[in-house]
Chains A and B, each alone.
Chain A
Amino acid sequence: MFGESATAAQAGPAFSEPESSAVQRAAVAAGFDAARFRAELRAFCRQQVPADIRARMRQHQYFTRGQRIRWQQLLQSRGWFVGHWPKAHGGQGWGPLQRFIFVEELERAGTPWLTHFGTSFLGPVLCAFGNDAQRARFLGPIRDSTEWWCQGFSEPGSGSDLASLKLRAERSGGHYRVNGQKTWTTMAQWADWIFCLVRTQAGGKPQQGISFLLIDLKSPGVTVRPIETFDGGQHVNEVFFDDVEVPVGQLVGQEGDGWTIAKFIVGRERLLVTEIGKAWHLLGVLQSIAAGRREGPRRVSDSAAFRRRAAELEVQYHCLRATAYAAVLEAEAGREHPVDASLLKIRGSELQQAIHDAITDLLARDGLAFQIEGLGGDLEGYRHGDPRLPGLLHEHLHSRAASIYGGSNEIQRGIIAKTALHV
């Protein structure tokens, strides 16, 4: 049984789902009790999510900037938001396993997506590559969610071929002058800062001239322009830089370290993008829609055709979860299987999309209204169908991007070919 509603109805078999002994052993070795940690997170998600956020979770609505920040701060009140940072830098020193369990449980409960840009990407980058001044200036506000970060990697001409990026940063005295454009920047409209891959040197191997620069979005010459997406949301943007002055102290590492840092980030991202907890949550949504809908004398959830389709998804889910934990345990032991990272990205996005297809196919029977006014708050006036309709359709459409962003599934397959086939 999947999902919050389904488990509640079933007196929680999923909550008593046994922890594999390999996970238990690895947790003990890492100094925590996996089952107890999960129980603590579940209780927290059941009891501590503020009512306004929970209301939006139920309807799959959009969260405001303020709601996301409040949720992150609540998590940090327990030290969890940056639990994966080293103790020396204000974290709890969690390894990959504890961090994975943490994210899985939050996703299972359907809580707001943690904006990873500061906490998962930049924080660890500063710990590993930054200098003391940078850590002192930037880590605190990330931990406390008082500064919002976004990720400036992609450009109009450089998507899959990231190394061809062109955003120029030319050094003059104590500053870099930055000119050019980033695009697809998630939540730049809410961000205070952006970390960018910039080109500090032309010629040579394209990867060599790339550096990692932190830029205040309030700097003169920065323009953020929203991109309209087909899911009815507003989350990606173009960011333009017109002679923006950036102090050289905001360069992370040395000039030319950008590519190495980018690979470090991508490596961190991979386990998280599996979103296995979200898949579990969505499978619960699917079950609850099927159970609440009749097909003649029977419930849809009792129809053989529906059950078979749900069973197919369940197989995919368990297969992915097993693979994800195998990869996490490898990472916990400091190793990496050449196939894992890309596999998780591919299968994670495929599963999420397949579940959304199944959900939408059920919703389609009542007519696919798309009242996007209902995404960000209460719908005034007439509402067609299930109150979750706008939110679930928005999520369906957005899930199409899961196989595109963060290195497309085609690029991931190329990576597996390169590393595993030695081509």
Chain B
Amino acid sequence: MDDDALHLFEETLARYNRERYDAGQWSDYGRLPQGHSPERWAELQAMGCFELLRPEDDDRAAPMADLLPLYAAAGEALWREPLATVFAEPIAVIAQLADPARRRALLEGLISGERPLGYAHRETGDGAADAIATTATKSTAASGAGWRLSGDKAMVVGVDVCTGFLVSAIDAERDVPAVFLVDAAAPGLQLQRYRSIDDGIAADLRFDQAPAERLCDGAAAIAAANARGVILAAAEALGIMRGANRDSTDYLRERRQFGQPLLGFQALQHRLVEMLMRQRECEALVASVAEAFDHAAPMLSRQVLVLRVEVARALRHITREAVQLHGGMGVTQALRIGRYYRRALMLDSLHGTADLALEALSEHP
């Protein structure tokens, strides 16, 4: 997108948020059985957002930079819709497929909105980053030859729209990680839904000899998927930072104590200034890492870790300060400040805490 188009897109999204996504609507959507609004989800599709994923000619994926405004808008208004199932990890995995026809088919499934995919990689258990205990074996049984998957995956998001799951597992034939596709309705797949800290819905998946399609080798696909997830989460975090900073500034301007607006106290101005500086730094960092990702720059994995450390820290800092600066109001459900705080915890949970990223950065120089 050129600058004009980008600007226009941002304005469209801002209007969308004003009309469709105030705090009351947010709560209403949450009470729906899916945990989000199917109407809003369809509307994003109708607005052409999904088309942003269509690659040009021979490219394997469309530029991620074009998605940053979408994710920022989602962050600021706390969208409940399952963006990740279309925009995030699945795109990166599909780009790794060797067979162009299969690649195009899966991508078309995402862009058309007909076949969103869940990303099922995380496992609980021994907890080593990227340790995979789920296994895939090749069955020759008469009842159906092909791959069979067994194992547990934790905290998969967007399960209510997914028609299938991208599951990392050890290919037992070759003893290497690989990514498999399992149909959401597959026999041997059991799904347990629960509320997550951000008041959304997540699920744990159990595979018991579930039939699966082997899509591609794992290591590169998983690394790319995680990187894409981290970068888009950072874009979402920018939206949260923007909203939290704006809300806090507006609140202190309005709120009077001791006969004057609280914004008049210099001690508080400096706190807001620190929050704004961190937002600005993250904006620059997100843009640069997204560009590096689109151009497959060298040292990308380190850049992604740097991004994760800084954005996770800045987001926790800003959301914490926003709660504090709102006083008692900050811990209520009446304002979105408390929701920002909880979504920040969720992003840490989904994409790794700053601690973990810093450790990874320090262990692999």
User: Which residues in A have some Cβ–Cβ distance to B below 8 Å?
Assistant: 154, 157-161, 164, 183-184, 227-231, 236, 293-296, 300, 303, 305, 309, 357, 360-361, 364-372, 382-385, 393, 397-398, 400-401, 403-405, 408-410, 413-414
Contacts and interface: CB of A to CB of B under 8 A. Distances in A.
B327 A367 contact: no
A296 B331 contact: no
Contacts of B327: 159-160, 404, 408
Contact of B126 (A160, A295, A305, A368): A295
A150 to B, nearest CB: 15
Given A364-B353, A371-B195, 13 more contacts: A158-B257, A160-B327, A230-B338, A360-B345, A367-B349, A368-B345, A369-B155, A369-B195, A372-B195, A382-B204, A384-B194, A385-B124, A404-B327
Contacts of B126: 294-296
Interface of B: 122, 124-128, 131, 154-155, 192-197, 199, 202, 204, 256-259, 267-268, 316, 320, 323-324, 327-328, 330-334, 338-339, 341-342, 345-346, 348-349, 353, 355-356, 358-359
B276 to A, nearest CB: 18
Contacts of A413: 267
B331 A410 contact: no
Nearest to A367: B155
Given A365-B127, A369-B202, A400 B331 contact: yes
Contacts of A360: 345, 348
Q: SS class of chain B's interface: helix, strand, loop or mixed? A: mixed
Nearest to B348: A364
Contacts of A295: 126-128
B356 A365 contact: yes
B268 A410 contact: yes
A164 to B, nearest CB: 8
B303 to A, nearest CB: 21
A409 B330 CA distance: 14
B199 A370 contact: yes
B128 A397 contact: no
A385 B359 CA distance: 24
Contacts of A405: 328
A183 B124 CA distance: 42
A397 B331 contact: yes
B318 to A, nearest CB: 14
24 contacts: A159-B327, A159-B328, A160-B327, A184-B328, A228-B332, A229-B332, A230-B333, A236-B328, A293-B127, A294-B126, A305-B355, A364-B348, A369-B202, A370-B199, A382-B192, A382-B194, A382-B204, A385-B154, A393-B197, A403-B324, A404-B324, A404-B330, A408-B324, A410-B268
A115 to B, nearest CB: 19
